[in-house]
Amino acid sequence: MRPPSHLEALAELDLEADLDGTVQVLLEAGVRLLEVDGVGLMLADGQGRLCAAGGSDEACLAFLRAQEHLV
């Protein structure tokens, strides 16, 4: 039996059960799919203010948090 692909793993997520875990799985999949060292996720509210939603590691998250204050 082969392990599920990254995209198949995303299809099995229960978004309502564990939002923090879901974001972390998405970030880890992004690192693997894009073959990069780090991935970050920022969200914007209705007024366009950015908010760091998660980072694949502490360095990415620190970078995102710094970006929140630049806009």
Summarize pLDDT for 12-71 with one digit per residue, the tens. Answer: 666 566 666 778 888 988 899 999 999 999 988 888 888 898 999 999 999 999 998 886
What's at 31, amino acid-wise? V
What pLDDT, on a 0 to 100 scale, did the predictor assign at position 6?
A: 59
Residue written as token pair 């509210």: 45
Q: Are the beta carbons of 55 and 40 closer than 8 angstroms? A: yes
Give the number of other Cβ atoms within 10 Å of residue 52's Cβ: 18
What's the pTM? 0.63
Give the CA count within 13 Å in the CB-facing half-sphere of 20: 0
Q: Are the beta carbons of 5 and 26 closer than 8 angstroms? A: no
